[in-house]
Amino acid sequence: MNTFRLITGIPGPSGFGSASTAEQVTEGIDATNLTAIITGGASGIGLETARVLALHKAHVVIAARNMEAANQAKQLILKDNDTARIDVMKLDLSSIKSIKAFADNFNALNIPLNILINNAGVMFCPFQLSEDGIEMQFATNHLGHFYVTNLLLDKMKDTAKATGIEGRIVNLSSVAHLHTYGGGIRFDNINDQRSYSDKKAYGQSKLANILHASELSRRLQEEGANITVNSVHPGLIMTNLMRHSAVLMRILKVFTCILWKDIPQGAATTCYVALNPKLKRVTGKYFLDCNEYKPSTFARDEILAKKLWDFSNKLVNSAQNT
C-alpha cells in the first residue's frame, strides 16, 4: 500500500486516489442498459454504491438480509432520485437455502444481469457457526458469495453474449487479507473454536475473496466468457460492519484518523471497478484507491486458489445434502 498517496489523496496512475469519491470516478458514465446486484446494499458503502449506480441510470437490485433496512435504503435513494430503478430482494449469505431461493427468484424475473457486486459481510464477530455448520465469517464473507456467484453465472454469461456488453463481478476484499492464519486458509480446521481468532478469521475470509476472484477470472478466461472478475479494498471506513468492535475501532481511529475515508470515498473503488470503461477486459486484479495493487503472496497463489475452489464446492454440496 502506498501510504503517502493514501494520506495525501494524490491520484495514482488511474487519475484517482484515496480522496476520490464514487461520483467522481464514475462521472459521465451512462449505465442505462445495465442491471446490477449489490449484496448488502442496504447500508454503508453498499448503499452508496447502489445510490451512485442508480444515479447513472443502472437498474439496481439491493440484495439484503434485513428487508426493512433494504426498503428504507430504496426510499432514501428515491427521495433524491425519483427516476431511480431500485428493487430489493431477500438474501441471507450465511444460509445456503436462502442463497438458492434468492438466485431462483432473481432468475425467474427473466431480466439481464451485467454487474454483480459481492459487497456484504460480517467483521470480527465472536465465534459462531452458520445454520449450515460453517464458521460465520467464512460462511458469510466468502462461501455465500462463492455460491451466489456460481448460481448467477449462467445469467451473466447469457446477458454478456446477448448484449455484447462486458459483465463485471466485483468482490469486496480488504487489506486485512494480509493478517490470516498460517497457510492462508484453514482447510482442515475451518470450524475450530479453540484456536479461533476473530481478526484472523476475518482476514482469512478476505483472502478467500481475492482467491475466489482470481480463480473465477482464470476459468472465465479459459471459456472465453465476456466477464471480468476483480477484487477491491474499499479502505478504512466506520460503518455497521464494525459493530462487533466499535469501541476498539473508535480508539484506533483517533490515532490513525488520516488513514480513514468517508463513505463516498469508501465506495469509490467498487464503483470504479464496476463501471469505469478504462477497465474493459481487465480481470483477476486487486484494486485499492482505484488503482491496481499487488496483494499478498497467499492471494497470488494459484494452487491455493484452486484448492479453495474445490473446498468451497465441497462445503456447498455438503450443506445442500444435510
Grid cell locating 236: 478504512
**Alpha-carbon gap, residue 237 to 264, rounded angstroms:** 10
| Residues annotated as part of the active site | 196
DSSP letter (8 states) at residue 139: I
**Alpha-carbon gap, residue 56 to 48, rounded angstroms:** 13
Measure the N-to-C terminal CA separation of the chain; round to a whole number of Å: 43
DSSP letter (8 states) at residue 143: I
Residue 30: burial class (beta carbons within 10 Å; 0-12, 13-18, 19+): exposed
Shortest CA distance to 87 belongs to which of 151, 154, 36, 153? 36
Grid cell locating 211: 482467491
CB atoms under 10 Å from CB of 317, counted, come to 10
Strand partners, 292: 287
DSSP letter (8 states) at residue 184: B
Which string of b and e fits 144-155 if b means at least 16 CB within 10 Å? bbbbbbebbbeb
Helices 144-163 + 302-320 axis angle, to 10: 100
**Alpha-carbon gap, residue 89 to 33, rounded angstroms:** 20
Rg for the chain (alpha carbons), in Å? 18
**Alpha-carbon gap, residue 140 to 204, rounded angstroms:** 12
- Asked if 73 contacts 49 with a C-beta cutoff of 8 angstroms, the reply is no
